[in-house]
Amino acid sequence: MKKIRIPFRFLVNLFFLLFYVVAATRGQICTGSLGDPVVNLTFGSGPNPGPTLNPGTTTYAFTNSICPNDGFYTIVNNTSGCFGNSWLTYNEDHTPGDVMGYMMLVNASVAPGVFFVDTVKNLCANTNYEFATWITNVITPTSCNGSPNKPKLTFNIETADGVILSTYNTGDILETTNPLWKQYGFFFTTPATSSTVVIRITNNAPGGCGNDLALDDITFRPCGPTVTAGSANANQSVIDICKGDTSSIILSANVGSGYFSPAFQWQFSQDSINWTDIPGASMLTYVRYATGVGTYYYRLTVAESSNIGISNCRVASNIVSITMHNPPVATAINNGPVCENSTLILTATGGASYSWKGPAGFTSTQASPAFTATNAAGLYTVIGADLFGCKDTSSTQVATFPQPVAVVSNTQQICVGDSVLLVVSGGNTYAWLPVTGLSNASSSSPMASPVNSTTYTVTVTGNNNCTDTASVLVVVNTRPNVSAGADKILIKGQSIVLDGSITDSLNVNYTWTPDLFLNDPALLRPTATPNFNMTYVLSAVSSIGCGIASDTMLVQVFNDLYIPNAFSPNGDGVNDTWRMEALSAYPNAVVAVYNRLGENVFTGNGVATPWNGTYKGTQLPTGSYVYMIDLKNGRPMLKGTVILLR
């Protein structure tokens, strides 16, 4: 058998043809790069209704109503309230930014059939294209008792003499609760010897209740390998530079496989819509030189070398935008002149970020830094940068006024009811706070007579209304208040502690006189051991001249404990109680009295509760009563009798 030699180029062509045919049967849109639309049918824009389609484009009849009946179509920019709101409301068509843009609104005929046909010319022969259109099902899911007919479309791309190049079926186009546009598309390859194709759309579902749809944005675009472009150093597609930057930018592109002999052409645009070929820019890289302020757009278009001269045959990369920005206009001001040690505020505008420098090593990145003006006079410079890194510099001169120095009296000590002179200097005017107790709150030398210790603060105002403050404490001392304590009773040989006390003992000197029988007369509570009755005086003298005070107490000394053997509680004021004065020397002593039957008729502690001859409120009869006294000092209990006389 004779072998047939098949050229390699033919095999590769066949491979790509099969690839696109398979892709078309799957209903995929282009996954590589696209060229500009060769055909872009948006149906136009304007008031309702729009114009009829060209004769032969559709088998349906045109209606002026925005709600067409079965077998009718209309061209509208919106629709609402159709058939008792069984259709969704559309406030606009699909085309982005298309004010009052039209769409083709279709109510399918009862019988399935072709409803849209159009001839597309001026395509490139033997070139891959993507056909795509946007479709929406306009009926609501609850219409037709919840079971409306669903549009089911077939797209055919045919030659002018009816040979089918590619077919795609949408399947059921489902209802949605809100308007939802969906793009349907597929690939096809134009014949090697023809640049004209026919698009034929067939609705395979019956009309009646349902099968209502809208079409918009029908496009034919060259489809080819993926083309990406960006800056050569960082692969950026958005590049921002600043005025004055004269460096060139190298743009670079990557082109995927798919063309046998690819050719390249860089393009330029000032609006990203209308493109112009850059003469001589036919490599994968392009050197872009500095330009004036503005935004400039670049992209790389690619086609087979035989078709590169025809723009309809090219696919295009992503757009690379290069913007030359004017620098920001930075301004710098301050709230000066200000007084030293007051708040200085710098304010910068015109940038998105700032960098300040100034005297004494000052730096800040705030737009309006505020700080205490200490040695702050001088020139402050700020660099303002915008969001693109463009910078401008501005400066502001800060002037400061000298601050007065307030000099005030030292801490003052006075007695209650006295006054003291406060003196301040260093300014032109003065203001004291608080004003309570001052003779004149605006004087440089007011008399102060506070009731309690008070800190007075004075604000001194000098030239240019600059101020300083100072404070002085006036301590108010109370006059001595002395108590020598209660009189004391003891038995000879015992000791007792004197209960002296002084109110506000600060700045007070005190002593006991005489110092006889005292362990230390300089103590407030010294221990006394007198052998006979002693009168002691506690004296206090204010060390800051706030007066003298004294108080006297008696220490009564008994040789022993005298126990009366009789008393007469008859109310004559003489011996009406059984009382032992010296018992005070034994404050813990317990006294108990019993009648002749041994019944306890009285119990007392020391001298605090003398016996008045009664028991439970009843006067006891005349007679002898037994007493027992426990001194609680380790000595034996004292026992004896006392006679109650009436």
Cα–Cα distance, 640 to 473 (Å, whole number):
69
Sheet of 534-542, strands arranged across = 488-491, 548-558, 534-542, 508-513
* Distance from the Cα of residue 356 to its chain's centroid: 26
Q: What is the pLDDT of residues 461-480, one digit of tens each?
A: 999 999 999 999 999 988 88
Tokens of 43: 């149906």
Residue 187: CB atoms within 10 Å: 26
Cα–Cα distance, 122 to 120 (Å, whole number):
7
CB neighbours of 34 closer than 8 A, spacing ≥ 6? 130, 221, 222, 223, 315, 316
Cα–Cα distance, 540 to 544 (Å, whole number):
12
Cα–Cα distance, 643 to 623 (Å, whole number):
6
Tokens of 575: 């011996």
* pLDDT over 80 (residue 14): no
* pLDDT over 70 (residue 41): yes
The 3 state secondary structure assigned to 132-163 is EEEEEECECCCCHHHCCECCEEEEEEEECCCC
* Distance from the Cα of residue 524 to its chain's centroid: 63
pLDDT at 505: 65
* pLDDT over 80 (residue 637): yes
Cα–Cα distance, 231 to 239 (Å, whole number):
8
Q: What is the pLDDT of residues 169-197, one digit of tens each?
A: 999 999 999 999 999 999 898 888 888 99
Sheet of 227-231, strands arranged across = 227-231, 249-255, 285-288
pLDDT at 121: 87
For all residues of the chain together, what is the average pLDDT? 91
For 306, half-sphere exposure in the C-beta direction (CA atoms, 13 angstrom radius) is 7
The SS3 assignment for 600 reads strand
Q: How confident is the model at residue 26 (pLDDT cuts 50, 70, 90)?
A: very low
Q: What is the pLDDT of residues 255-314, one digit of tens each?
A: 998 888 999 999 999 999 999 999 999 999 999 999 899 999 999 999 999 889 988 889
Cα–Cα distance, 166 to 182 (Å, whole number):
20
- Return the bridge partners of 137, or none: 213
Among residues 384, 403, 408, which one has the least CA distance to residue 457?
Answer: 408
Torsion of CA 619, 625, 630, 636, to 10 degrees: 180
* pLDDT over 70 (residue 28): no
pLDDT at 8: 35
The domains of the chain, with CATH numbers, are: 12-224 (2.60.120.200), 227-325 (2.60.40.10), 331-401 (2.60.40.10), 407-477 (2.60.40.10), 481-558 (2.60.40.10), 566-644 (2.60.40)
CB neighbours of 291 closer than 8 A, spacing ≥ 6? 324
CB neighbours of 573 closer than 8 A, spacing ≥ 6? none
Cα–Cα distance, 349 to 331 (Å, whole number):
5
Give the N- to C-terminal CA distance of the chain in Å, as an integer.
171
Would you say 155 and 25 are in contact if contact means Cβ atoms under 8 Å apart? no
* pLDDT over 50 (residue 17): no
Would you say 87 and 74 are in contact if contact means Cβ atoms under 8 Å apart? no
Provide the pairing of β-strand 496-497 with 467-477.
Answer: unpaired
For the chain, give the percent of residues with pLDDT over 70: 95
pLDDT at 11: 34
Cα–Cα distance, 441 to 157 (Å, whole number):
101
The 3 state secondary structure assigned to 292-311 is CCEEEEEEEEEEECCCCCCH
pLDDT at 59: 92
Would you say 106 and 115 are in contact if contact means Cβ atoms under 8 Å apart? yes
* Distance from the Cα of residue 24 to its chain's centroid: 54
pLDDT at 122: 83
pTM (two decimals): 0.58
pLDDT at 503: 82
Q: What is the largest CA-CA distance in the chain?
A: 171
Residue 321: CB atoms within 10 Å: 16
pLDDT at 608: 61
Among residues 132, 112, 330, which one has the least CA distance to residue 220?
Answer: 132
Upstream peptide bond of 450 is cis (omega within 30 degrees of 0) = no
Q: What is the pLDDT of residues 489-534, one digit of tens each?
A: 899 999 999 999 998 767 789 999 999 999 999 999 999 999 999 9
Would you say 151 and 133 are in contact if contact means Cβ atoms under 8 Å apart? no
- Return the bridge partners of 285, or none: 252
Output phi, psi for 9, to 5 deg: -60, -35
In whole angstroms, how large is the CA radius of gyration of the chain? 58
Cα–Cα distance, 425 to 472 (Å, whole number):
13
Cα–Cα distance, 225 to 258 (Å, whole number):
5
Would you say 320 and 38 are in contact if contact means Cβ atoms under 8 Å apart? no
Q: What is the pLDDT of residues 574-611, one digit of tens each?
A: 999 999 888 888 888 999 999 999 999 999 987 667 99
Q: What is the pLDDT of residues 359-396, one digit of tens each?
A: 999 999 999 999 999 999 999 999 999 999 999 999 99
Would you say 600 and 611 are in contact if contact means Cβ atoms under 8 Å apart? no
Cα–Cα distance, 619 to 73 (Å, whole number):
132
Q: How confident is the model at residue 646 (pLDDT cuts 50, 70, 90)?
A: confident
Output phi, psi for 13, to 5 deg: -60, -40
Cα–Cα distance, 409 to 475 (Å, whole number):
13
Residue with tokens 């007075």: 456
CB neighbours of 84 closer than 8 A, spacing ≥ 6? none
pLDDT at 7: 39
* pLDDT over 70 (residue 482): yes
Output phi, psi for 523, to 5 deg: -90, 145
For the chain, give the percent of residues with pLDDT over 90: 78
pLDDT at 4: 34
Residue with tokens 């040789």: 559
Q: What is the pLDDT of residues 219-272, one digit of tens each?
A: 999 999 999 999 999 999 999 999 999 999 999 999 998 888 999 999 999 999
> In sequence order, which ranges of 522-614 are alpha helices (DSSP H)?
none
